[in-house]
A and B are shown apart, each in its own frame.
Chain A
Amino acid sequence: MNSIGLLLIVLVYLGLLFLIAQWAERNRNSKWTNNPYVYSLSLAVYCTAWTYYGSIGVAADSGLNYLPIYIGPVIAFPLWIVILKKIIRISRVNKISSIADFISLRYGNSRFLGALVTVIALLAIIPYIGLQLKAISETFHIVSQTSESTNIFFDTSTYVAFILALFASYYGTRYVDASEKRIGMVTAVAFESVLKLFFFIILGLYVTFYVFDGFADIHNQAVVLEHFEERNTIGGLEGAVNWMMLIVLSFFAIFLLPRQFHMSIVENNRERHVQTAIWLFPLYLLLFNFFIYPIAWGGNILFDGQGMNSDMFSLLIPQSRGNEFMTVLVFLGGFSAAISMIVVSSISLSNMLSNNLLIPYGFLGSLQKDNQERNSSRIMRIRRIGIFSLIILSFLYYRFFIMDFSLVSVGLISFVIVAQLAPAFFGALFWKRGSLIGAISGVFVGFSICFYTLLLPFFLSSLNPDSLFFKEGFWGFELLQPFQLFGLNYLDPVPHALFWSLFFNLMVYLAFSVSFKGNYRERNYAEMFVDIDKYITNHENAFVWKGTAYVSDIEKVLKRFLGEERTNRALHLFKMKYNIAPDNLMADARLIKFAENLLTGHIGTASAKILIDGVTKEDKISLPEVLKILEESKENITINKKLVETSNELKQLSGQLKEANFALLVKDKQKDEFLDTVTHELRTPITAIRAASEILHDDEDIPEAMRKQFLQNIISESDRLNRLIDKILDLEKFETGKQKISLTEQDIITTIANSIRPLQQLISNKKIYLEFNENQKAIKLYFDEERMIQVITNLVSNAIKFCDEKEGVIIISLQNNDTEYSIHIFNNGKGVNPNELEAVFEKFYQSSDQTIKKPIGSGLGLAICKQIIEAHKGKIWATNVEKGVTFSFTIPKQLID
């Protein structure tokens, strides 16, 4: 395949990744982007081009030695549940966006330590990125069958690196806040993880079952090779110690590599995603490693004695068979592995570079004076240029330093450098006594030894491989031989360097920490880191600070970086959380910590502290005082928690009381209204009776007809009074549940007929047309017949009262529903006011409708009907229909008790 074609494929592939990232960014909360599998797969950024190509080289040249690098992480995984969750929590509450932030914050938010960690990370990772570029470049040339040009401007791989740098610098800087989640990038990396594994497995199957005839075939052909025996033994105790050291190395790497920290901590969306990662990621590594051996030894068999680069076997095998498709596939897999590493590493490095080095040591002054918009774009620009130059720098490093080294050797050196952070890092998590001086000196000593035993020889050997330095050591001191320091002579260079550097690093860290106590700020963060679980919900409380600070000053600083709106919103939320009056002038420790957190994502922990320190005046606190405050705050937190719980309970109770009270009030009011209406209704007939009686009593010459009329009035009003009392008592019995109904099986048709009969006279007097078929088939239901007659009589009487005065029509019909029968009584009178369709069933309902005359009745009839029907577990309602109104009720078919 020619280089233009391959370049096009690379561009199309990058475009595809770009689209995936864009899509994921737009669907931030989709289940395709925000799930534990994407998280777990994104962690596979651990498997770089070094894994993809280099492991095969190691397996081919020195057998099983490729394995320890993967065993370390697998051993580390069970611990993840504890350690990783802790780191995630600490980072979340402190808005930590890199390992430099993490370590420096713990040791008193030290600007210097943050910068030191950043420098260590840069020294370790730039060569490592260079390594990935080397892999891309070499494989590009193999696949396009071109040779590397000595002039970098004529070499295609230069342009690939350049495009990559643009891609990463555009993609890595979408947010000013470095602790923001980059969903798009994570999804794209997860996608690449799937691809590289998939392509690698395809290659494995191809080599094992197509090129060869299964595993046994490869084995049979391999055993006869010259070095097979030698390359497939661990090598006794010495070999075992070497192995162990490499396992330790990779164990640390999975926590400390900036890209791993970035993916597993900063990009973690949900803590519980870790639970999936702890099985899925080891499984991924296992699958990846499964075919390494067959491919490596397949290559050894095919290219025996030809002096081929064993790192490139995975491309050379399909290429030598003329399978261009497979070759390109493998190339793309390796390309994926390389660019995920490059993109993630350069993003995390550039965050560290800007937040822990450039801003706190350089740009902070100018940022302090500018407004939010300009600051944001400047921070973005710093990061963007950072990513771009990191990649270009790595490329130059690769072109001028590591052209001739194998992939694995450079990678391991990076691991050893990064491992120097281990004592300070793990100390931060578990040891409260660890101090800043201890951490700084440990890292310094460790790195120096690492430099002496690994980096220096590495550079020297590329200049002069026969230097006496290796044999005779520094100035001829044999004990200082770089590869056999202090006479330790059975370790390979990398495990050797790791052992001594870590040993001294740890000792110095412990000794200095114990002898020089940290200041109160260190101790404060130590508490917050080690006991994170206690402070997780209100960590601002755990921050100890005493001094004078004005809210308005802090607000001004925040606005420079967050802008007006976000600042106001954040402060508002903060005040709500801690129940602080909105017009509070003085800031307390909690606000100081809160403000630092808000700034941290933008400019890093150290700069945030510097800015806040600039507008506040802090009083010195002694260490014992801090410990006392912390102790108190711990107690306070527990007490607070209890108080909050109790106050919540009280709130709930008082809410319930309020509700109950309100219900009582409503009931009271209803009762008052009811009494009012009842007394009014009772007084009306009494008034009529009294007036008539008085006339009869006082007026002796009253005409006979009038006398009789008044007596008749007295009788009918007395009856009315009695009926009213009956109904009130009825209603009261239903409402208090004293009224029992006796359900017996009855025919509802007969009951309706019985109810209508006494009304027939009235109906024919008013010339009303009544439709009801008395002769239909019996419908047996369970109801209290006497009460049902009461309901039907009431409804039909109402219908008689309200139907059209001249041509009254009443229709009674039945309907068979699923579980009940419904009875409908229609009349062609004026409808009920639509707003009062339910109110008509209330006690003493009186229509507000201006055109309806007050019904002659107690105003209790429908209320009683409702009570009766509800006692039968039925429903009653009214509906306005065309040219009239229908009152309906239901009776259940099943006997319900």
Chain B
Amino acid sequence: MKKILLVDDEPNIIMSLEYTFKKNNFEVFIARDGQEALDILKTEQPDLIILDIMMPNVDGYATIEAVKKDEKLNACKVIFLSAKNKESDIEKGMKLGANAYMTKPFSIKKLVEQVNVLLLESD
């Protein structure tokens, strides 16, 4: 069973994501901001992280930087899922080491496809 970490400060968005990935046989972890995510990552090594950018406390950028520094998480894929949809935002996200960048509002179907593609690559 693949592990997935969902990081977003909007409860209703989390709710949809959680439902979808549980249905697709993922083990789902949930964090409401970057800080919570990093706390979870101390003990868990998910296969993939879906990461919002604009969040209180620790934002998505800071979170991915921490993830990339952590050797235990070398294999972990990251997808940014953000309402920031400018070219420069996407560029910045990819530079920081994300494997994919999807803008909000997003298609659930496409997100699941993207996740599957990334996980297939790593296998």
Nearest Cβ on chain B to A841's Cβ, whole angstroms: 19
> B-contacting residues of A (Cβ < 8 Å)?
679-680, 683-684, 686-692, 694-695, 698-699, 706, 709-710, 713, 716-717, 846-847, 850, 852-854
A695 to B83, Cβ gap below 8 A?
Answer: no
Contact of B108 among A683, A694, A850 (CB under 8 A): A694
**B8-40 to A contact mask, C-beta < 8 Å, 1/0:** 011011011101100100000000000000000
A691 to B106, Cβ gap below 8 A?
Answer: yes
Which chain B residue shows the least CB distance to A856? B11
Contact of A679 among B13, B83, B108 (CB under 8 A): B83
B106 to A847, Cβ gap below 8 A?
Answer: no
Contact of B83 among A684, A710, A850 (CB under 8 A): A684
A-B contacts, 22 of them at CB < 8 A, read A679-B83, A680-B83, A680-B84, A683-B105, A686-B105, A687-B13, A688-B10, A688-B13, A689-B105, A690-B105, A690-B106, A690-B107, A694-B107, A694-B109, A695-B20, A698-B108, A698-B109, A710-B19, A713-B16, A846-B56, A854-B55, A854-B56
* A684 partner residues in chain B, CB cutoff 8 A: 10, 13, 83, 104
Cα-based distance from A689 to B106 in the complex (angstroms)? 10
* A695 partner residues in chain B, CB cutoff 8 A: 16, 19-20, 108
* A694 partner residues in chain B, CB cutoff 8 A: 16, 107-109
A683 to B12, Cβ gap below 8 A?
Answer: no
* B107 partner residues in chain A, CB cutoff 8 A: 690, 694
A691 to B108, Cβ gap below 8 A?
Answer: yes
Which chain B residue shows the least CB distance to A854? B56
- B57 is an interface residue with CB less than 8 A from chain A: yes
Which chain A residue shows the least CB distance to B17? A691
Known: A687-B13, A846-B56, A850-B57. 10 other contacts (CB 8 A): A684-B13, A686-B105, A689-B105, A690-B105, A691-B13, A691-B17, A692-B15, A694-B16, A694-B107, A695-B108
- B54 is an interface residue with CB less than 8 A from chain A: yes
B106 to A680, Cβ gap below 8 A?
Answer: no
A680-B83, A699-B23, A853-B56 are contacts. A709–B104 as well, Cβ < 8 Å? Answer: no
B56 to A717, Cβ gap below 8 A?
Answer: no
Chain B: how many interface residues by the 8 Å CB criterion?
22
Secondary structure at chain B's binding surface: helix, strand, loop or mixed?
A: loop
A706 to B84, Cβ gap below 8 A?
Answer: no
B105 to A717, Cβ gap below 8 A?
Answer: no
**B54-91 to A contact mask, C-beta < 8 Å, 1/0:** 11110000000000000000000000000110000000
Nearest Cβ on chain B to A795's Cβ, whole angstroms: 22
Which chain A residue shows the least CB distance to B16? A691
* A680 partner residues in chain B, CB cutoff 8 A: 54, 83-84
B56 to A683, Cβ gap below 8 A?
Answer: no
* B10 partner residues in chain A, CB cutoff 8 A: 684, 687-688
* A692 partner residues in chain B, CB cutoff 8 A: 12, 15-16
Nearest Cβ on chain B to A685's Cβ, whole angstroms: 8
Cα-based distance from A687 to B109 in the complex (angstroms)? 14
A687 to B104, Cβ gap below 8 A?
Answer: yes
Cα-based distance from A695 to B15 in the complex (angstroms)? 11
* A846 partner residues in chain B, CB cutoff 8 A: 56
Which chain B residue shows the least CB distance to A713? B12
Cα-based distance from A585 to B39 in the complex (angstroms)? 70
* A687 partner residues in chain B, CB cutoff 8 A: 10, 13, 83, 104-106
B19 to A683, Cβ gap below 8 A?
Answer: no
* A706 partner residues in chain B, CB cutoff 8 A: 19
Nearest Cβ on chain B to A372's Cβ, whole angstroms: 63
Cα-based distance from A853 to B114 in the complex (angstroms)? 31
